[in-house]
Amino acid sequence: MTDTPIRFDDGAAYERMMGIWSALAGEIFLGWLAMPKNLSWLDVGCGNGAFTEQIIRHNAPSAVEGIDPSEGQIAYAKTRAAAAAAKFRLGDAMALPFAADGFDAAVMALVIFFVPDPAKGVAEMARVVRPGGVAAAYAWDMNGGGFPLEIILKELRAMGLSPIWPPSADASRREEMVRLWTDAGFEDVETRRIDVTRTYVDIDDFWSAASGSLSLKTALAKMEPAQLADLKARVRVHLSEATDGRVTVSAFSNAVKGRVPK
């Protein structure tokens, strides 16, 4: 689609748009992992710490580390209540700044499709998780149309525009997840689809949140007012609007988990 690098530099804008979607899907993902309490966790690509906070609430871990290459996201994460119970630092999924076998669980929530070499990122999780521990990920099904803003991206493409697309979108397919986890040596590999629905107060709320999305903000900022009005009209045709104005949007992601052999 485009070679523009994707940089998550605004933790607050992320919170309003993707943070809410992340919370909805993250809860289902953690429920599916069904991990016991009191484990040590690594949150790879922790972003602004939204998902790290969910791990803390859901799994009462003994320790949590969060790493992310974005200074802006890590700075925001450090302001969260979760910061007291978690350590946040800069780092890359492909070169985790940790020794081998140090965690009971490692997760990537909405991250794998941004990692330039997903196989390297998965191999790194296999390295830092102890034998018998679990590594897991979930990601919007980009190629299957599961991204929460797919409805807008589709119309932008129809208008000949190129919204940002993650560099490793294929890694969000279930077959590819199974391949990545199997190739990295994990056992008991399982996948599932996660469906979520979000309701916006009205159409303005929908566009206001969407405009903060990294996938859209550059494309929208470059549009002429008439072109933007055209886009909004095209998208509205596909939106589910209730009589009281509320707008409901659905999205789906794929998840994978596997165990490091003992």
Ligand X SMILES: C[S@@+](CC[C@H](N)C(=O)[O-])C[C@H]1O[C@@H](n2cnc3c(N)ncnc32)[C@H](O)[C@@H]1O
List residues near ligand X by CB under 6 A: 8, 18, 22, 26, 44-47, 50-51, 68-70, 73, 92-94, 109-111, 114-115
Instruction: Select 117 or 241, whichever has its Cβ closest to ligand X.
Output: 117
Beta pairing, strands 63-68 & 40-44 = parallel
- Least distance from C-beta 95 to ligand X, angstroms? 9
- Least distance from C-beta 18 to ligand X, angstroms? 5
The dihedrals phi and psi of 157, each to the nearest 5 degrees, come to -65, -40
Instruction: Select 93 or 171, whichever has its Cβ closest to ligand X.
Output: 93
Closest CA to 7 of 51, 52, 73: 73
Contact (CB, 8 A) for 256 and 190: yes
Beta-strand ranges (E) seen in 45-174 are 63-68, 86-90, 103-109, 129-140
Instruction: Select 68 or 141, whichever has its Cβ closest to ligand X.
Output: 68
Closest CA to 97 of 62, 69, 58, 135: 69
Instruction: Select 96 or 151, whichever has its Cβ closest to ligand X.
Output: 96
Instruction: Select 122 or 231, whichever has its Cβ closest to ligand X.
Output: 122
- Least distance from C-beta 185 to ligand X, angstroms? 20
Contact (CB, 8 A) for 38 and 100: no
Contact (CB, 8 A) for 104 and 129: yes
- Least distance from C-beta 14 to ligand X, angstroms? 7
- Least distance from C-beta 236 to ligand X, angstroms? 26
Q: Which helix (H) or strand (E) holds 194?
A: strand 187-200
CA dihedral 140, 143, 144, 146 (to 10 degrees): 30
Residue nearest to ligand X (CB): 47
- Least distance from C-beta 82 to ligand X, angstroms? 12
Contact (CB, 8 A) for 257 and 190: yes
- Least distance from C-beta 233 to ligand X, angstroms? 28
Return the ∠ at Cα 211 (arms to 209 and 214), rounded to 5°: 105
Instruction: Select 89 or 238, whichever has its Cβ closest to ligand X.
Output: 89
Instruction: Select 13 or 18, whichever has its Cβ closest to ligand X.
Output: 18
